[in-house]
């Protein structure tokens, strides 16, 4: 099954890079400028899709295990809302408008998301994880209200720029920011691959984890901060990409019929990357480019609904 998934991912990469007339130009003598098209447009989109999909899917798997909630996703803690508030302040309060550079948006979003992570870290030291979840939801509500106020008093162009950012996009062609996000995701994969036994213990319950000698509060905080940083940087780079982090772990569980995180981890990464790459492909096949979140919703929600309707599938 893993070979089939890798083949599916590979086909998505090839399709995303070479769809349309690119392939014909590549093999013809008239394709002198095709490498610029690939380097400046197609390759960055493909890399962004792989990075965003794999990182968010990994974050979703960890959060669903920690919270024991099948609908927990990368944005359950309000981290994406913190990033959104950071971008909103940069675009609408500071009056940057369309002049705010891509790097500027990235910095504002990371600062906003990390501020939320630090707040949640403080809460996690003194309160239960249920309280942390509730605090994240409440923070998201507060940030949403503040963003609405900013939109109400801001110029139309600034509001439009912010709304476009919220639709998410993997079109970013800044290789410096792509490299930063790649390092963050690869680091997260390496770190979390050494925490599979801890995640297995959390899946069986915190009481079981404690009986195995695991410091539940410390490990839980470490895991939340680790995936929180992944979410912060990916949201900063690509906007709030939808549903990948929620559906990918379920597809992986259904595919291999296992709850062992050492087995789930590679499948989740491949599925998350593949879903995002194919979504980017389908968002660009028509003459009008569609928001990737719209395509992800159309692809992801029916899959999740089918899994729910399958009685033999057990979410947890």
Q: Is the pLDDT of residue 29 over 70?
A: no
Give per-residue pLDDT as tens, 152-174. Answer: 988 888 888 888 888 888 988 78
pLDDT band at 99 (very low <50, low <70, confident <90, very high): very low
How far, in Å, are 35, 113, 230 from residue 106 at the CA level?
A: 27, 11, 13
Please list the alpha-helical segments (H only) found in 194-291: 196-203, 206-211, 216-238, 244-256, 261-284
**Do residues 199 and 62 lie in contact, with contact meaning Cβ atoms separated by under 8 Å?**
yes
Which pLDDT value is given to residue 265?
A: 94
Q: Is the pLDDT of residue 208 over 60?
A: yes
pLDDT band at 98 (very low <50, low <70, confident <90, very high): very low
Rounded to 5 degrees, what angle do the CA atoms 241, 99, 177 make?
A: 45
Which pLDDT value is given to residue 316?
A: 59
Q: What topology does CATH give the domain 2-8+38-309?
A: ABC transporter involved in vitamin B12 uptake, BtuC (1.10.3470)
* Every domain of the chain and the residues it spans: 2-8+38-309
Q: SS3 string of 115-166?
A: HHHHHHHHHHHHCCHHHHHHHHHHHHHHHHHHHHHHHHHCCHHHHHHHHHHH
Q: Is the pLDDT of residue 285 over 50?
A: yes
Phi, psi angle pair for 132, to nearest 5°: -65, -40
How far, in Å, are 46, 182, 188, 293 from residue 178 at the CA level?
A: 11, 6, 15, 19
pLDDT band at 271 (very low <50, low <70, confident <90, very high): very high
For the chain, percent of residues with pLDDT exceeding 90: 32
Q: Look up residue 166 and give its two tokens.
A: 């919220």
State which H helix or E strand residue 7 sits in.
helix 2-18
Three-class DSSP category at 84? helix
Q: Look up residue 135 and give its two tokens.
A: 């605090």
**Do residues 86 and 109 lie in contact, with contact meaning Cβ atoms separated by under 8 Å?**
yes
Judging by beta carbons within 10 Å of its beta carbon (0-12, 13-18, 19+), is residue 243 exposed, middle or buried?
buried
Mean pLDDT in residue range 63-85:
84
Which pLDDT value is given to residue 269?
A: 96
> pTM above 0.95?
no
Phi, psi angle pair for 94, to nearest 5°: -80, -5
| Residue 199 neighbours by CB distance under 10 Å | 23
| Residue 277 neighbours by CB distance under 10 Å | 29
Q: Which residues are within 8 A (CB) of 13 and not within 5 positions of it... i.e. 6 or more apart?
A: 46, 50, 277
Which pLDDT value is given to residue 237?
A: 87
Mean pLDDT in residue range 291-310:
82
- Interatomic CA distance for residues 112 and 116, integer angstroms: 7
> Higher pLDDT residue, 99 or 114?
114
> Higher pLDDT residue, 77 or 144?
144
Please list the alpha-helical segments (H only) found in 74-128: 79-88, 102-126
- Interatomic CA distance for residues 88 and 95, integer angstroms: 10
């Amino acid at each position: 099954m893993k070979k089939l998934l890798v083949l599916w991912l590979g086909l998505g990469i090839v399709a995303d890079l070479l769809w349309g007339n690119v392939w014909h130009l590549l093999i013809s003598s008239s394709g002198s400028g095709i490498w610029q098209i690939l380097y400046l447009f197609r390759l960055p989109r493909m890399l962004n899709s792989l990075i965003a999909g794999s990182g968010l899917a990994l974050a979703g798997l960890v959060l669903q295990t920690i919270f024991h909630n099948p609908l927990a996703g990368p944005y359950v803690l309000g981290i994406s809302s913190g990033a959104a508030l950071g971008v909103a302040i940069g675009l609408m309060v500071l009056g940057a408008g369309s002049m705010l550079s891509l790097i500027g948006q990235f910095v504002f979003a990371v600062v906003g998301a990390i501020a939320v992570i630090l707040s949640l870290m403080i809460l996690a030291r003194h309160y239960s994880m249920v309280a942390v979840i509730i605090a994240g939801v409440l923070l998201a509500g507060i940030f949403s209200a503040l963003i609405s106020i900013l939109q109400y008093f801001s110029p139309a162009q600034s509001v439009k720029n912010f709304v476009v950012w919220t639709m998410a996009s993997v079109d970013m062609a800044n290789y410096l920011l792509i490299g930063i996000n790649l390092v963050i995701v690869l680091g997260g994969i390496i770190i979390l691959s050494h925490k599979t036994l801890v995640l297995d213990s959390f899946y069986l319950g915190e009481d079981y984890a404690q009986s195995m000698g695991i410091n539940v509060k410390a490990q839980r905080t470490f895991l939340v901060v680790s995936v929180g940083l992944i979410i912060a940087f990916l949201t900063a780079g690509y906007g709030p990409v939808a549903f990948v982090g929620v559906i990918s772990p379920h597809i992986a569980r259904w595919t291999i019929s296992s709850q062992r995180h050492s087995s789930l981890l590679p499948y989740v990464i491949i599925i998350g990357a593949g879903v995002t790459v194919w979504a980017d492909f389908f968002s660009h096949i028509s003459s009008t480019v569609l928001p990737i979140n719209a395509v992800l919703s159309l692809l992801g929600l029916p899959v999740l609904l089918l899994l729910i309707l399958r009685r033999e599938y057990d979410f947890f």
